[in-house]
Structures are given as structure tokens and as C-alpha cells.
């Protein structure tokens, strides 16, 4: 069925783009243009009229894009109309009146996938490109959409096919022992090489997924140490309530931040102390959980009272119960830890090293030292996650399939060492091939298509 949708953002604008795809695209465009079909791939001015009532709808630029040399591989048309709501509604109602169907989210891209115009990794890269908020996310998404991951997965697939060919040859010549045994042995180094490469790919620290989702930063500390003030200062707006009364922040407050192109998700947490009420206890529990899951923990201390606010060293007894709780939260996290000494505007500078050699001294109130804190976060991101341009795993789906492929290869290698029958060994390689095939959509992936294309807007 021929589909249509608003491809540009909804709302008032100078121009709105309405996209059409399917067999009836040519006939529909011909009727809209009052019998004056534009030349293929030439932007042309036309007065659009309702196909049946002949009422004038708008003056527009139109494109006629016959398939298969276009995005979806089907006949397509694009209408560049004035972006007022009434104009868009009138044109889209006219399309519905002649039997076209409003597209589902991601349906244009799904048709492109179905017609072989792109594979699943490229489709996912396109979704990420549309949703990218920062420069690093844009680079990573563009690399994937441009085929970087497809090329990597195809290389793995070719290596696996080579190993499978050797095993199949050993089965074909099973009545000639020397040939069969020699062919089977040739498959082992290929499988071992690929298993090692998959293991290296999985041991990437989840950098692609973290860049796609945002680098998680938890701000922890005692009540009234300035956590919410720091969140607001970094966000450049009043995202969190700031009040002198301890325990104001009960839940985790999230703010997205773009620092030098890197995506960060800042989380302001409840002050860590021996809470009296059940509600505050839950807030402290959530603060500790946020710290444990964070990629970066900003442990805030009060610099206005000298080194009395310093956290106890790891494994060191003493200090306040809340200070020990913060130290435990910092220690439990697998992420990087930064000591942030706040309120340095209220007291003489602390003695050098009193809060540790890498402590960052700031005033969340006056913004003193914020540039140094931002630079430290960007430096961590750059060193840990790179520039976003190298091919890397960006989704849990990819990681799961690569893990399945590696497990099947390990089973093949273990079976080969144990003298397993070639028929069983071949099945392990087929399992690995199935897993890699699901990455790009070469095999039946109907169960994941809805999830992938559901991430798109309606007009894509």
C-alpha cells in the first residue's frame, strides 16, 4: 500500500516536507499537480490541487523520485509545502481521500531495509543520527549509518564462512579420512581467530552504548554540600531546588549536558547521612545506587571548613557516618572518581593536598573552578570513549548476538579438541553464523524489527 507522512518536524515552520512512497506515488503526484508530472529528480514548482475536488491546496516545490534509485527503493514523491498547520492538514487529508495510508513510525526506513537499500545496523545508525544531541553522538551515528559496522560484521562473517566451508568439506569427503581430517583441522585456526576478535570487541568497556545513551555522572555528598547548586551551575538553569534545609533533594534529578561534544547525564542525589524518615532513607538508597551505576562519581565535600570535610581514605576508619557512607559509595562504583571541593569562596584556600592530589576546587555559587571541572570530565570522556568515529558496539542487541556467536565458536573449538563428530561441530558454526546474520538482518529477524523501527519518527 502507498503510504504518506509528514517528514519534517510538526508545528509551524517556513516549509513542511510530506513524503509519499509506494506504487500509487506517480498517480497521486500526477493528480496533485493537475496532470503536470515533474521530471524525475528535478525540484519543480507546482500548484497543488485536491485530486478529486480540484480545490487548490497550496503552491509547493515537488520532487518525483521513481524507484529503485531512492531511499525506500519504491516509487516516491516529496512535497515541500508551506509549513502552516492548516496547509499541512489539507494536503495530508487529500492524500488520505485518495486511499493512501498514514505511515507507521519508521515505516519508510523499514521499506528501505526490506528492499535491500540498507541493513539493520545502518537503519539503527540512521535512528541514532536523528536522535543525536551532541557532536560525538552525531559522529558515531554517522559512522554506523555509513556502513562502518556492516563492514566489520561482514569481515567476521567471511571468516566464519571460511571455517564452515572447511567443516562442510570434511563432511563431503567423510569416506576419505585424510582429506576429511585435513579439511576439518583447517577450520580450527579460522574459528579461533574469529573467537578472539569477538572477545576483543566485547571487551570495549561499552563505550559505544555509553556514548549513545550519555555518560552517567552521579553527584554525591552530605546534605547541603552544594550538589543541587552544582547541577544547576553546570546545566545553566534552575533544574533542582536549592534550599538551606537538609534533605531537600529526595529523588534523583537528571539533566543532560553537552560538554565539548560529549553527552553527559548528570544525576543530583539525596544527601548521604543517617536518615531519620523512611522517605529520606529511600532517597539515600537511591543516591548510593546511582553512584554504584555511574560512569563518573563526583564526590562533593565542603571546603569552607578546611580539611575537616575530607573523606576518609579507602579502608580507613573514622570520620562522620555520612562521610564514611560517601566514601563507601565512591568505592563501590566501578566508574572514575573525582573529589570536588565546594564553597572555596567562603574560606581561605585549603592546604595543598588536603583533599587529595587530584581534587578540583570550585564554588558552585560563583562558578569558580567550573571550567576545570568540565575540562576534567571532557578529558575522562576523550580518554575512555574516543571520538566516536571508530566502529563500536552501540546496542545491547549487538552485544548479545556477538556474545552468542562467540559462545558457539568456543563450543566448536572445545568440541574439536575433544574429538567431537564433524556433524555436531558444524552445528556450532551454524549457530555462530545465525547470530552474526541477525546483526545485519541477513536472517529472519522479524522479532526485532518492530523494536528497531519503532524508534523512528513517523515520517522516517
Q: Which residues are annotated as a binding site for GTP?
A: 224-229, 268-271
- Cα dihedral sign for 197, 390, 453, 25? negative
Angstrom distance (rounded) from CA 35 to CA 75? 17
Q: In the beta sheet, which residues pair with residue 47?
A: 59
Q: Is the dihedral of CA 69, 73, 77, 78 positive or negative?
A: negative
Alpha-carbon distance of 290 to 411, in angstroms, equals 37
CB 378 within 8 A of CB 397: no
Listed residue (204, 164, 193) closest to 432, CA to CA: 164
* Residues 26, 51: Cα–Cα separation, whole Å: 13
3-state secondary structure of 224: coil
Sequence-separated contacts (24+) of 366-371 with Cβ below 8 Å: 367/233, 368/344, 369/344, 370/233, 370/234
> Which segments are annotated as binding site for (6S)-5-formyl-5,6,7,8-tetrahydrofolate?
19, 78, 117, 460
Which residues make up each annotated binding site for Mg(2+)? 228, 249
Taking alpha carbons only, the member of 261, 210, 202, 263 closest to residue 405 is: 202
Contact between residue 326 and residue 314 where contact means Cβ atoms under 8 Å apart: no
Cell 553522538 locates to 137
Contact 192, 202 (CB under 8 A): no
Amino acid at each position: 500500500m502507498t503510504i504518506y507522512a509528514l517528514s519534517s518536524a510538526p508545528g509551524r515552520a517556513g516549509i513542511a516536507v510530506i513524503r509519499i512512497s509506494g506504487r500509487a506515488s506517480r498517480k497521486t503526484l500526477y493528480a496533485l499537480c493537475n496532470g503536470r508530472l515533474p521530471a524525475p529528480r528535478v525540484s519543480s514548482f507546482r500548484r497543488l490541487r485536491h485530486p478529486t475536488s480540484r480545490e487548490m491546496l497550496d503552491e509547493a516545490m515537488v520532487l518525483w523520485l521513481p524507484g529503485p534509485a531512492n531511499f525506500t527503493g519504491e516509487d516516491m514523491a516529496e512535497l515541500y509545502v508551506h509549513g502552516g498547520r492548516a496547509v499541512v492538514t489539507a494536503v495530508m487529508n487529500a492524500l488520505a481521500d485518495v486511499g493512501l495510508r498514514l505511515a507507521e513510525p519508521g515505516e519508510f526506513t523499514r521499506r528501505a531495509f526490506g528492499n535491500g537499500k540498507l541493513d539493520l545496523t545502518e537503519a539503527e545508525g540512521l535512528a541514532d543520527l536523528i536522535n543525536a544531541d551532541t557532536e560525538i553522538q552525531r559522529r558515531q551515528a554517522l559512522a554506523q549509518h555509513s556502513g562502518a559496522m556492516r563492514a566489520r560484521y561482514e569481515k567476521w562473517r567471511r571468516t566464519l564462512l571460511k571455517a564452515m566451508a572447511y567443516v562442510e568439506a570434511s563432511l563431503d569427503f567423510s569416506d576419505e579420512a585424510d582429506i576429511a581430517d585435513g579439511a576439518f583441522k583447517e577450520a580450527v585456526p579460522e574459528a579461533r581467530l574469529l573467537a578472539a576478535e569477538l572477545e576483543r570487541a566485547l571487551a570495549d568497556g561499552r563505550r559505544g552504548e555509553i556514548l549513545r545513551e550519555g555518560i552517567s555522572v552521579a553527584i554525591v555528598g552530605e546534605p547541603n554540600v552544594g550538589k543541587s547548586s552544582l547541577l544547576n551551575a553546570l546545566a545553566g538553569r534552575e533544574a533542582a531546588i536549592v534550599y538551606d534545609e537538609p534533605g531537600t533533594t529526595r529523588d534523583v534529578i537528571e539533566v543532560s549536558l553537552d560538554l565539548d561534544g560529549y553527552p553527559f547525564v548528570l544525576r543530583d542525589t539525596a544527601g548521604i547521612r543517617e536518615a531519620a524518615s523512611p522517605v529520606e532513607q529511600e532517597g539515600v538508597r537511591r543516591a548510593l545506587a546511582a553512584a554504584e551505576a555511574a560512569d563518573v562519581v563526583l564526590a562533593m565535600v565542603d571546603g569552607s571548613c578546611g580539611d575537616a570535610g575530607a573523606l576518609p581514605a579507602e579502608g580507613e576508619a573514622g570520620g562522620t557516618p555520612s562521610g564514611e557512607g560517601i566514601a563507601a559509595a565512591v568505592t563501590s562504583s566501578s566508574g572514575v572518581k573525582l573529589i570536588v571541593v565546594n564553597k572555596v569562596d567562603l574560606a581561605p584556600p585549603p592546604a595543598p593536598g588536603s583533599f587529595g592530589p587530584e581534587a578540583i576546587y570550585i564554588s558552585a555559587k560563583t562558578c569558580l573552578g567550573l571550567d576545570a571541572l568540565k575540562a576534567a570530565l571532557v578529558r575522562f570522556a576523550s580518554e575512555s570513549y574516543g571520538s566516536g568515529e571508530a566502529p563500536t558496539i552501540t546496542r545491547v542487541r549487538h552485544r548479545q548476538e556477538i556474545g552468542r556467536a562467540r559462545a558457539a565458536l568456543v563450543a566448536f573449538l572445545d568440541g574439536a579438541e575433544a574429538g567431537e563428530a564433524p556433524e555436531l561441530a558444524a552445528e556450532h558454526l551454524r549457530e555462530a553464523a545465525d547470530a552474526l546474520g541477525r546483526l545485519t538482518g541477513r536472517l529472519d529477524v522479524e522479532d526485532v524489527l518492530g523494536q528497531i523501527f519503532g524508534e523512528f519518527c513517523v515520517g522516517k
